[in-house]
Amino acid sequence: MKLITFRYEGTERVGVLTADETAVKPLPYADMNTLIERCPLSELSAVAASATEAPIPMTHVTLLAPIPHPRQDLICLGMNYQDHLDEAAQYDAGFSLEKPEASYFSKRVGRTVDPDGMIPSHPGLVERLDYENELAVIIGKPARNIRSQDAADCIFGYTIVNDVSARDVQTQHKQWFFGKSLDGFAPMGPCILTADEVAFPPALRISTRVNGELRQNSCTDHFIYPIADVLEELSSGITLLPGTILSTGTPAGVGMGFDPPRFLHPGDVVECTIEGIGTLTNTVQ
Ligand code: MG
């Protein structure tokens, strides 16, 4: 199933797309966080079947980011594709990893950007604006001390996050938090693809275009740190609550990976696509 958040007649709702994706069937939850918390994936089909509201044509609704207000900061993986690690280290030696452990950081998100929303360029603060197309894993039930072989059971679904990054801000501080967390730096969507629709671990084509030009083109089975191992490691010390968003890192082809670098400017259109989930199309403001 594909779950979406949408606005209809002035109200934000959640629902499931019909098979032909031309309409959305509203579900009886206040928002996506509540749905994830209260409706186990195993019960979602029955809930959708028993929902009484008629499907609403997609032409009558405004599509919003599936989780407009994450309850916690996003957990992000840095350097999870070898080709991206290589290009980042070429841009700035500080990016090179000498240790074999995963690199984790958090990303503050007050409001995710809608699938067709604007990415603010923060003039005066940011000169090196960049994109990072990433598969985001959404946790469905409290996860503590998960073994890697059981990790798939705690995943509710997947979406796309563009981990927009201010490279100048990111590298001038010792931590990446500020340069990754500016307002409007987390476009998300267009839907949550439920985990039962995807073989685990997911092997999905991931590609990015900027103004129509193909920049990133890879597959989510190229991870250095597999999702199952990451969930085992994180849950050994952190209880991952329902609605937790884990953004799994980006492949090669970001702006800083080019020589000379090709950063984003107002008017640029960034399209992030992941097979089976869809495309985010965001314009730099
Ligand atoms: Mg990233």
> pLDDT of 17-34, one tens digit each?
999 999 999 999 999 999
- Whole-angstrom distance, CA of residue 194 vs CA of residue 182: 29
Task: Indicate whether 143 pLDDT > 80.
Answer: yes
Ligand 1 centroid to residue 46 C-alpha, Å: 36
The per-type count for the chain, helices as H runs and strands as E runs, is 6, 18
40: confidence class by pLDDT, cuts 50, 70, 90: very high
Query: Model pTM?
Result: 0.96
Residue 33: per-residue pLDDT: 98
Residues whose CB falls within 8 Å of the CB of residue 91, separated by 6 or more in sequence, listed in order = 167, 256, 257, 261
Written as six digits, the tokens of 17 are: 């797309």
Written as six digits, the tokens of 63 are: 């599509």
Measured in residues, the chain has a length of: 285
Ligand 1 centroid to residue 264 C-alpha, Å: 16
Ligand 1 centroid to residue 44 C-alpha, Å: 30
Written as six digits, the tokens of 181 are: 């967390």
Task: Indicate whether 97 pLDDT > 70.
Answer: no
Ligand 1 centroid to residue 42 C-alpha, Å: 30
Residue 118: per-residue pLDDT: 98
Task: Indicate whether 106 pLDDT > 90.
Answer: yes
Residue 93: per-residue pLDDT: 81
pLDDT in tens, 108-117: 999 999 999 9
Average pLDDT over residues 227-252: 97
Task: Indicate whether 98 pLDDT > 90.
Answer: no
Ligand 1 centroid to residue 224 C-alpha, Å: 14
Residue 92: per-residue pLDDT: 86
Ligand 1 centroid to residue 48 C-alpha, Å: 33
Ligand 1 centroid to residue 192 C-alpha, Å: 19
Ligand 1 centroid to residue 134 C-alpha, Å: 7
Task: Indicate whether 268 pLDDT > 90.
Answer: yes
Ligand 1 centroid to residue 95 C-alpha, Å: 12
Residue 62: per-residue pLDDT: 98
Residue type for 193, please? L
The residue with greater pLDDT, 284 or 91, is 284
Please state, rounded to an integer, the average pLDDT across all residues of the chain.
96
99: confidence class by pLDDT, cuts 50, 70, 90: low
Ligand 1 centroid to residue 63 C-alpha, Å: 24
Average pLDDT over residues 156-179: 95
Q: Give how far Cα 121 sits from Cα of 46, 108, 264, 274, Å.
A: 43, 17, 8, 24
Ligand 1 centroid to residue 3 C-alpha, Å: 24
The residue with greater pLDDT, 86 or 235, is 235
Ligand 1 centroid to residue 101 C-alpha, Å: 16
The residue with greater pLDDT, 175 or 192, is 192
pLDDT in tens, 178-201: 999 999 999 999 999 999 999 999
Ligand 1 centroid to residue 184 C-alpha, Å: 15
Strands 278-284 and 118-119: parallel
Question: 8-12, 100-104, 120-124, 210-214: which has the minimum mean pLDDT?
Answer: 100-104
Ligand 1 centroid to residue 53 C-alpha, Å: 38
Residue 262: per-residue pLDDT: 97
